[in-house]
Amino acid sequence: MKRGFRFLAILVITALGTRIGGAAGADFRLETTGFRNGATMPVIAEYHGYGCPGGNISPDLHWSGVPAGTKSFVLTVHDPDAPAPGGWWHWVRFDIPAGTRGLPPGAPVSSADGRDGTQSFGEVRYGGPCPPPGDKPHHYNFVLRALNIARVPGASPATTGPQLERLIAGHVVGEARLTGRFGRPR
């Protein structure tokens, strides 16, 4: 019995060590100088339209700890709190080259730093926060995924966030997240 228990304990410890300490991309991080993770996004990032007076300038983003085997990245910004089925997609960017380690503020549409798909405003570009007026701020999840493919097959400017999620299934080798918050008073 002791021998079987010892073997099981070694097996469990080895599995945990592989998942915790040796996981590919365990240090994969997404950051911005525009706001702290979980903090309020600046007004310059707010959408301009639908009653929102912001600058619609995407924040600067930079990442590190890229997982081995990364051949490209995709970036999405999604508001799960939006009063729309499936939330609201604010940015859908794909085919970001593997050597890229960041995007400047106001990243141009479909440049050498990737191509843009269609966000929920119906535009092919970044669309900042513009939640309905209310007391509770919304969460804006910036999700950078490292892929094992250089280009997302079938992706085009017409590709939406949910479509991109389906196209990259099975190709994600790492994921880094950053969350901003934004609200509008009544």
DSSP letter for each residue of 61-111: EEEE-PPTT--EEEEEEEETTSSSTT-EEEEEEEEEETT--EE-TTPPTTB
Q: Tell me, what's the pLDDT at 46? A: 97
Q: Report if residue 6 sits inside a domain.
A: no
Q: Tell me, what's the pLDDT at 110? A: 76
Q: Tell me, what's the pLDDT at 16? A: 32
Domain containing residue 75: CATH number: 3.90.280.10
Q: Look at the chain and report how many structural domains it folds into.
A: 1
Q: Report if residue 88 sits inside a domain.
A: yes
Q: Tell me, what's the pLDDT at 5? A: 37
Q: Tell me, what's the pLDDT at 111? A: 80
Q: Report if residue 62 sits inside a domain.
A: yes
Query: What whole-number distance in Å separates Cα of residue 20 and Cα of residue 102?
Result: 26
C-beta atoms surrounding 5 within 10 Å:
9
Q: Report if residue 8 sits inside a domain.
A: no
The boundaries of the domain holding residue 93 are 25-182
Q: Tell me, what's the pLDDT at 186? A: 84
Q: Report if residue 4 sits inside a domain.
A: no
Q: Report if residue 76 sits inside a domain.
A: yes
Name the pTM for this structure. Answer: 0.85
Q: Report if residue 133 sits inside a domain.
A: yes
Q: Report if residue 121 sits inside a domain.
A: yes
For 113-137, write each residue's pLDDT tens digit. Answer: 899 999 999 999 999 999 999 879 9
The residue ranges of the chain whose pLDDT is under 50 are 1-24
